[in-house]
Amino acid sequence: MNGPHDMGGMHGFGPVPYEEDEPAFHEAWESRVWGMMFATTSPEGANLDAARHTTERIPPARYLALSYYERWLESLTASRIEGGLVTRDEVTAGHAAPGATPRDDAAGPETVDPYQVFDFRRDVKAAPRFQPGDAVRTANPHPRGHTRLPRYARGRCGVVALHHGAHVLPDTNAHGEGECPTHLYTVRFTARELWGDDGHPHDAMSLDIWECHLEPR
């Protein structure tokens, strides 16, 4: 979807702040939010792409006013309310409602690995449509749902640099429509192709793009 999370190439937001030797967490509560993302019960059908789309649905003005981990907390809370795991009153109160049934399978924090690596590669029978060196053009969709094709790279011409095999397709996985494994490529774009004459003639950008968003040219 087109929203404040997809601001590549947009003007008016000032320089990207840089902090040398920046810590992973600036406040203790941020580390707790990180842990909560892995330790709390997830609603049925939850996955990484669905979580990203929940964050994308934060109203634009509020999204821009929140810090990084505040967005994580907002997304976590919204998904648990929508999934029927907690109520808004319980969130406001900070504790379960009287008579609520606690989890009987709750795991301690020592059992959670926040650095677990997930593999989203999948085996498919379909052969890849493109090979490194092929000239391609990206699609120009403007879906109301989730997509991993950034707005600034839609309808642009590039060259396939790498083929990564088939991976889970975020555009469907975010909405409970299945993983729909699709071939994934790294596509190289010149800066001039993406940004026009303002792009430096010697610069380029590489993006990972699923096959359904590419066509030959």
Q: Which residues pair with 182 in a beta bridge?
A: 167
Q: For 140-156, write each residue's pLDDT tens digit.
A: 999 999 999 999 999 99
Q: Residue 58 half-sphere exposure, CB side, CA atoms within 13 Å?
A: 25
Task: Read off the DSSP letter of residue 6.
Answer: -
Q: For 166-203, write each residue's pLDDT tens digit.
A: 999 999 999 999 999 999 999 999 999 999 999 999 99
Predicted local distance difference test score (pLDDT) of residue 38: 83
CA–CA dist 84, 88 (Å, integer):
10
Q: What's the Rg (C-alpha) of the chain?
A: 20
Smallest Cα–Cα separation from 54: which of 30, 80, 31, 28?
80
Which secondary-structure segment (H or E) carries 172? helix 170-173
Predicted local distance difference test score (pLDDT) of residue 40: 87
Question: What would the two tokens of residue 18 be?
Answer: 């840089």
Q: State the alpha helices, DSSP H only, in the chain.
A: 28-39, 48-56, 60-65, 68-82, 88-93, 170-173, 191-195
Residue with tokens 């990206």: 138
Helix axes 68-82, 48-56, angle to 10 degrees: 110
Residue with tokens 């590039």: 158
The structural domains of the chain, ordered by start, are 28-111 (1.10.472.20), 122-216 (2.30.30.50)
SS3 48: helix
CA–CA dist 150, 140 (Å, integer):
10
Predicted local distance difference test score (pLDDT) of residue 108: 65
Predicted local distance difference test score (pLDDT) of residue 16: 86
CA–CA dist 75, 81 (Å, integer):
10
Question: What would the two tokens of residue 80 be?
Answer: 């648990």
Residues with pLDDT less than 50, the chain = none
Predicted local distance difference test score (pLDDT) of residue 113: 77
23-52 CB burial, b ≥16 within 10 A, e <16: eeeeeeebeebeeebeebebeeeebebbbb
